[in-house]
Structure 1
Amino acid sequence: MKTLIKKAVWLAAAMVILMTALPVQAQKDDDSLYRDLGGLEVLTKVVDDTLALALADVRIKDTFKDTDMKRLAKLITEQFCELSGGPCKYSGDPMKEVHQGLALNNMQFNALVEDLQAAMDKANIPSRTQNKLLALLAPMQRTVVSK
């Protein structure tokens, strides 16, 4: 009897693990947001425009003074591509490590988001699609903002 109960518990646990893992894999295989954003070409342009706006934005331009902007653009493009279901793989360091010691605040985080939204508007990305990407990026606020 104990063996039968153990097998039933094991089977139930395996089913729960399988059922929770399947949606994650399905989500990773879903490239619809990537396609809705316009693919790698549009994402690259959006990132380039976002960083150009950020460098002109008096609220945040100083945070980029010692930054290799070409490398940053490459990494952000990879990150957006991967997050949206595209074929890219983010090759940068974890967000917490990258932003450690920068003492970024919510105003700076929000300023960059505004610059990103302006760049997506310029690329004629619909608001609904923009919001889907922003929803994926929003949790990073807790990791990036330290003040």
Structure 2
Amino acid sequence: MNFRTRLIFLLALGLALPVFAQDPAVSAEEQAVLDEEARLEAEEAAAAPAANDPTAPNPAPAHPELRPVLDQFGGEAGLTKLMDTFMAGLLADEKMGPFFANADQARVKRQLVEQFCVILGGDCTYTGRDMKSSHAGLGIDRADFNRLVEVLQVAMDQHDVPFSAQNRLLAKLAPMHREVVTE
């Protein structure tokens, strides 16, 4: 490399270095994306299997014999619609609303769909925590649990889920009160 070529190279490098050395400011939009990614990572860490209580019963035991009942709910798509109605009912309910107002409602709905789908013999995977870990410290009493079931029944009625199908699901969910009720 001759002197002139080296000089041009060094000048070009000298002009480029400040650009590489700059710490670009993060736009509000980029910061929002970074914040959302951090929130999702924290949420995933909170829901990791390691957070489960090893002594707690399986929160989504599969019952393949209930697959016809899942069909009566409209399959996974029907469960998703049901959870939208159910969450709206919970939020509107004077007693239940405070339990769900600050919760990640999309996550709760998604995990309920997964849980109900697995219980009803569907080809889903439950990614949530066990009931004991999920409800620890929430101060849920038997009346709260019963009210939640009532709101669920109203939602199922609104979606024309046959009464017998409702009862078959509720029979599988009812024993969970032992892990959910903390007061």
By how many angstroms is 1:49 displaced? Answer: 0.6
Paired with 1:52 and 1:143, the residues of 2 have a C-alpha distance of 24
State the Cα RMSD in Å: 1.6
- Aligned AA for 2:110? K
Change (3 A) 1:30 1:126: closer
Paired with 1:143 and 1:123, the residues of 2 have a C-alpha distance of 28
Once the two structures are superposed, the pairs formed by residues 1-147 of structure 1 within 5 Å of their partners are: 27-28=63-64, 30-147=66-183
Change (3 A) 1:121 1:29: closer
Paired with 2:106 and 2:98, the residues of 1 have a C-alpha distance of 16
Paired with 2:66 and 2:78, the residues of 1 have a C-alpha distance of 18
Paired with 2:66 and 2:81, the residues of 1 have a C-alpha distance of 22
Change (3 A) 1:30 1:107: closer
- Aligned AA for 2:137? G
By how many angstroms is 1:28 displaced? Answer: 3.0
By how many angstroms is 1:36 displaced? Answer: 2.0
- Aligned AA for 1:59? K
Paired with 2:81 and 2:102, the residues of 1 have a C-alpha distance of 22
Moved over 6 A (4+): none
Identity %: 41
Structure 1 or 2, whichever has the larger Rg, is 2
Paired with 1:121 and 1:67, the residues of 2 have a C-alpha distance of 25
- Aligned AA for 1:39? G
By how many angstroms is 1:119 displaced? Answer: 0.7
Could you list the runs of 5+ residues in structure 2 that have no partner in the other structure? Answer: 1-60
TM normalised by structure 2 equals 0.64
By how many angstroms is 1:48 displaced? Answer: 1.1
Could you list the runs of 5+ residues in structure 1 that have no partner in the other structure? Answer: 1-23
* SS at 2:109 equivalent: helix
TM normalised by structure 1 equals 0.79
